[in-house]
Amino acid sequence: TEVETKNERKPINREQITVKETPTKGVTMKPATPQTEQTPSTEPQKSSFSEVPMPCGGFGDQTKNMKRIVASVGLAALGAASIQSSHAQALGTEKPWSISASLRGFYDDNVNTVKTGKINTFGVEISPTISMRLPSADQTTAELIYTYAYKWYDKKPDPSRTGTSDQTHTVAARLMHAFNERTSVSLSESFVIGQEPDQIRSGSQFASVQRISGQNVRNFGAITVNHQFTPTFAGEVGYANAFYDYEDNLKSSTSYGVSSNTVPAGTPLGIYPVGVNASRSGLLDRMEQTIHADARWTLQENTIVLVGYQYMMGRYNANEPIGVIGGVNIATNVVVTSGNRDYNAHYGYVGAEHSFRPDLFGSLRVGVRFNDNYASPGQETGTSPYVNASLRYMYAKDSNLEAGVSHDRNANDAFSTQGGSITVDSESTSAYIAVNHRIFLDLYGNAMLTFQNSTFNGGQFDGTSEQYYLANVGLEYHINQNFIASVSYHFDHLDASQTGRTYDRNRFYFGATVTY
Q: At 198, give phi and psi (nearest 5°).
A: -80, 0
Distinct helix (H) and strand (E) counts, the chain? 5, 26
Greatest mean pLDDT among 247-251, 323-327, 429-433: 429-433
Residue 72 has pLDDT above 70, yes or no: no
Interacting residues of 87 by C-beta distance below 8 A, sequence separation 6+: none
Which tops the pLDDT comparison, 60 or 158?
Answer: 158
Residue 90 has pLDDT above 90, yes or no: no
332: pLDDT confidence band, cut at 50, 70 and 90? low
Mapping DSSP to helix (H, G, I), strand (E, B) and coil, where does residue 55 land? Answer: helix
Which tops the pLDDT comparison, 446 or 300?
Answer: 446
Please give the average per-residue pLDDT across 27-42, as a whole number.
37
pLDDT at 415: 86
94: pLDDT confidence band, cut at 50, 70 and 90? low
Q: Comparing C-alpha atoms, which of 495, 463, 465, 432 is closest to residue 3?
A: 432
- For the chain, which residues make up each domain, given as ranges? 14-515
Instruction: Provide the mean pLDDT of the chain.
Output: 78
Please give the average per-residue pLDDT across 337-346, as a whole number.
96
pLDDT in tens, 171-212: 999 999 999 999 999 999 999 998 765 543 443 333 445 667
Least confident of 136-145, 336-345, 381-390, 444-453: 136-145
Report d(CA 14, CA 37) in Å as an integer: 6
Which tops the pLDDT comparison, 272 or 118?
Answer: 118
Greatest mean pLDDT among 38-52, 94-108, 439-453, 490-504: 439-453
DSSP H or E run through 280: helix 280-284
Please give the average per-residue pLDDT across 435-448, as a whole number.
97
Q: At 68, give phi and psi (nearest 5°).
A: -130, 35
pLDDT at 157: 81
Greatest mean pLDDT among 29-38, 59-68, 274-283: 274-283
Least confident of 97-106, 215-224, 327-336, 400-409: 327-336
Residue 222 has pLDDT above 70, yes or no: yes
Give the whole-number percent of the chain exceeding pLDDT 90: 54
CATH code of 14-515, in short, is 2.40.160
Asked if residue 344 lies in contact with residue 385, where contact means CB atoms within 8 angstroms, the answer is: no
3-state secondary structure 123-157: EEEECCEEEEECCCCCCEEEEEEEEEEEEEECCCC
Q: Comparing C-alpha atoms, which of 490, 486, 452, 487 is closest to residue 472?
A: 490
Residue 25 has pLDDT above 60, yes or no: no
Report d(CA 113, CA 158) in Å as an integer: 12
Q: Can you name the residues that pair with 186 across neighbouring β-strands?
A: 176, 224
Which tops the pLDDT comparison, 410 or 324?
Answer: 410
pLDDT at 511: 94
Q: What Cα–Cα distance (Å) separates residue 115 from each residue in 1, 24, 285? A: 16, 12, 25
Report d(CA 305, CA 349) in Å as an integer: 11
pTM, whole model, 2 decimals?
0.77
pLDDT at 84: 35
Instruction: Tell me 442's DSSP state.
Output: S
Which tops the pLDDT comparison, 32 or 255?
Answer: 255
pLDDT in tens, 247-303: 888 776 656 656 544 444 433 434 444 557 788 889 999 999 999 999 999 998 899
DSSP H or E run through 493: strand 483-495
Least confident of 264-273, 397-406, 418-427: 264-273
Residue 423 has pLDDT above 70, yes or no: yes
pLDDT at 401: 98
Report d(CA 253, CA 246) in Å as an integer: 13
